[in-house]
Amino acid sequence: MKALLLIDIQNGFCPGGNLPVPDGDQVAPVANRLIDSGKYDLVLASQDWHPPGHGSFASAHPGKKPFEMGMLSGKPQMMWPDHCVQNTEDAMLHPELNLDGIDFIQQKGQNPTVDSYSAFRDNDHAALTGLAAHLRAEGISQLDLCGLATDYCVKFSALDAVEMLPGVKVRFIEDASRGIDPNGVEAAINEMRARGVAIIDSKEVLA
**Residue 124 annotated among the catalytic residues of the structure:** no
What are the respective helix, strand and coil percentages of the chain, to the nearest 5?
A: 35, 25, 45
**Residue 108 annotated among the catalytic residues of the structure:** yes
Candidate list 8, 115, 122, 144, residue with the active-site label: 8
Return the sign of the alpha-carbon dihedral for residues 137, 142, 146, 149: positive
- How far is the C-alpha of 177 from the C-alpha of 154, rounded, in Å? 8
DSSP code, position 178: B
Candidate list 25, 144, 153, 155, residue with the active-site label: 153
Candidate list 25, 48, 84, 108, residue with the active-site label: 108
Q: Which of 76, 48, 72, 49 is nearest to 60 (CA)?
A: 72
- How far is the C-alpha of 1 from the C-alpha of 132, rounded, in Å? 14
Residues with active-site annotation: 8, 108, 153
